[in-house]
Structure 1
Amino acid sequence: MISLILLALGLCASATSIPRQASPCTFSMSAVGEPNGTIVEDTIGENRIGGGYPQGVYYMNNHSLFDSLNHNCLIWPSTLQFQCTQGAAGFTNFTLVDDGNLMHDASEKWFACPAAGPGDDGSYNIFSDALQDTTGCEKVTLRTGGFSCSAEGRPPTSSSASPTASPTAAPTSSATQSCPTDISGGVYQFPHLIVPTSSQAPTTSFGDSYIAYISSTNTTIFNFDIPAGYPYNESCALLFLFPFGSNLDPSAGQYYFSGIEEEEGENGGLNFALLQTYATSSTTYATIPPVAADYGKTEIFPGNNYTIATFQCPQASKVGFSVSSVGNVELDYFQDSAPSPIGLYIVPCQ
């Protein structure tokens, strides 16, 4: 068990953040724009939008990007194409911004151009926005899905910004919606800010964390940035994914869960709520925003996925959710969207 109050005692006057777990950040990607869809990787390392190749899985090491085969990903100097090739020489400066978009050389913009040749399957190749001949191409952004990378070189979030009221996420009827129950489709949103708080240190700010702490004394706030347009133009679902610890990707480490006895003996679980506004990195227990919609208690057990709520997607907005303990249940975990993902996510419904 990890107690935030013990960590608070070790904070210096500058309110140092909770130390972050050093972990590789693995993620998949999807294109936002027209075309949009999952980023796949073909047999020669070309990253594409759509098509019949397997979904790409990537990780970052400082500002370098690699695929799951440990091939170096870069903007190819002669063609400006985005690809991952074994033994490729060169370096592209990749970073992630607060909304999760992948940047190359300080730019979030990419060109998607129809793939041609033997591999033509209706997919699109991806190029730097420095491409000169853009005939038939469209501008897109590349959205990542791995919180373990969400602070990798991004510009710092201002803690002085005043949150504005979040749009109300009105409940929707699940009878007319088909909502994913996991993130295997590759189109989802992960938290861009996770802020733990402690009732035993109500005025202490623990800052942005990769780890969620939920216990009788710890409430954690999760911020999501919902894009505008398709597929987030109808309903969304809030999911909580809770795999067996033995199935976790090594990048996520292990979680601490005390809850089965508490859930069965004390009618416990986790309470999820939509907040009236979002958190900042300076949010404390005393300044958690008021609740806009209380989704109530969910009993969680390892090896299961949970649909917490469905609601109208708050497009182009930042929204905050709180997760707190009921009946002394405790869960401390590293949010990670690698294979066998764990944590809180938002998915669009169809």
Structure 2
Amino acid sequence: MHSLFILSVMLSTAVAAPFGLVAKRPLDDRDWTRSKRDGCPAYLTEGQYEFPHYMTQVSKSEPNLAFGPQYNGIFTPNDVSTVFSFDIPESRANDTCTLQFIFPRQEQLKTSSYAYEGTGTFVFTGYNPGNCPGPQTTYNNQPGNGPFPQFPPIHMEPGYAYTIDVGPCSVGAGTCVAGMTSTNDTYFSYFQDKDSCPIGIYTSYS
């Protein structure tokens, strides 16, 4: 997820073809509070979400380069994209999975930071469930696309939480769901952080 994220990704947890952004919520300061002590958001409930279990980049200009495991999401116009992978436990087969990208303003973060320049257009492309990226993943050998069309481009900018997709977890339960986020007009680099105020892509359960 206009390409960013995933966030990529994630897509493949839906049973119906995605047709656009599900929701966009402002990260108002009054909502960005888990406690007065840490000033962090209540969007992620402990034990009810998945942090990406694997992240890497792929590059159109260096299609055989394997970046290996990464901790940052990096996106450059028409070149570098980020691949995200989530492991969905079998125990979540009866739950609903929500793919979301949390993109706070810099002053709302505690231990992370980002660089963002451009129009903010991101595209998410889902892989087939069970096709997991790894250390040898490159642009030329990335996992195969899933059964659903590429997500329409969305606009993402700081200060919002974006719901990318909602669907039954049964599609990927017991294996991984993964995808790629790309962009054609934006440089975006951030440290995926969950231990303090979060930023990045997550799958939550309900």
> What is the TM-score normalised by the length of structure 1?
0.44
Q: Give runs of aligned pairs for residues 8-87 of structure 1, distance below 5 A.
A: none
SS of structure 1 residue aligned to 2:52: coil
User: What SS does structure 1 have at the residue aligned with 2:143?
Assistant: coil
* Identical amino acids, percent of aligned pairs: 28
Residue aligning to 2:143? 289
Work out which of the residue numbers 311, 316, 321 in structure 1 matches 2:179: 321
Corresponding residue for residue 332 of structure 1: 189
Separation of aligned partners in 2, 1:311 and 1:200: 34
The residue number in structure 1 matching 2:163 is 307
Residue 197 of structure 1: how far off its partner (Å): 1.3
| Post-superposition offset of 1:199 | 1.3
Contact persistence 2:12–2:127 (CA under 8 A): no
C-alpha distance in 2 between matches for 1:275 and 1:291? 4
| Count of residues in Structure 1 that have an aligned counterpart in Structure 2 | 167
Offset at residue 346 of structure 1 (A):
0.2
Q: Is the 8 A contact 1:255 1:333 kept in 2?
A: yes
Q: Which has the larger radius of gyration?
A: 1
Aligned to 1:160: none
2:132 counterpart of 1:278:
yes
| 8 Å CA contact retained: 1:172, 1:311 | no
**What's the secondary structure of 2:140's corresponding residue?**
helix
Aligned-partner residue type, residue 123 of structure 2: N
**Secondary structure at the counterpart of residue 125 of structure 2:** strand
User: Any unmatched runs of 5+ in structure 1?
Assistant: 1-165, 174-180, 264-268
The CA distance in 2 between the partners of 1:319 and 1:308, in whole Å, is: 14
Map Cα deviations across residues 243-288 of structure 1 (whole Å, 9 max, x no partner).
Answer: 00121122x2x211013xx24xxxxx11112112221111011112
Describe the shift of the 1:273–1:197 C-alpha distance in structure 2 as closer, same or farther (beyond 3 A): same
1:255 aligned onto 2:100: no
1:188 to 1:340, Cα distance in 2 relative to 1, 3 A: same
Which digits, 9 at most, give the CA deviation of each residue in 1:281-307, with x for residues without a partner? 110111122321322212111010000
Q: What SS is found at the alignment partner of 2:86? A: strand
C-alpha displacement of 1:171: 3.3
Code of the residue aligned with 1:171 in structure 2: it is A
Find 1:225's aligned residue among 87, 99, 103: 87
How far has the Cα of 1:220 moved from its partner?
0.8
What is the DSSP-based 3-state SS (H/G/I as helix, E as strand, rest coil) of the residue aligned with 2:186? Answer: coil
Structure 2 vs 1, CA of residues 172 and 209 (structure 1 numbering), >3 Å: closer, same or farther?
same
Q: 153, 167, 171: which is aligned to 2:16?
A: 171
| Secondary structure of the structure 2 residue equivalent to 1:272 | strand
Q: Given the alignment of the two structures, is residue 215 of structure 1 paired with residue 76 of structure 2, yes or no?
A: yes
Tell me the TM-score normalised to structure 2 length.
0.73
In the TM superposition, residue 324 of structure 1 has moved relative to its aligned partner by 0.5
Q: Partners in 2 of 1:201 and 1:212 — Cα distance?
A: 17
Q: CA deviation at 1:168?
A: 6.1
Partner residue, 1:194: 55
Matches of 2:195 and 2:155 in 1, distance apart?
24
Structure 2 residue ranges without an equivalent (≥5): 1-10, 19-26, 28-41
Assess if the C-alpha contact under 8 Å between 1:172 and 1:235 holds in 2. Answer: no
CA 197–167 in structure 1, closer or farther in 2 if over 3 Å, else same = closer
Verify the 8 A CA contact 1:167 1:317 in the aligned structure 2: no
What is the CA–CA distance in structure 2 between the aligned matches of 1:235 and 1:171, rounded to whole Å? 13
Tell me the alpha carbon deviations over residues 299-348 of structure 1, each in whole angstroms, 9 at most, x when there is no partner.
Answer: 1110100000112112111111110003x112111100133210010011
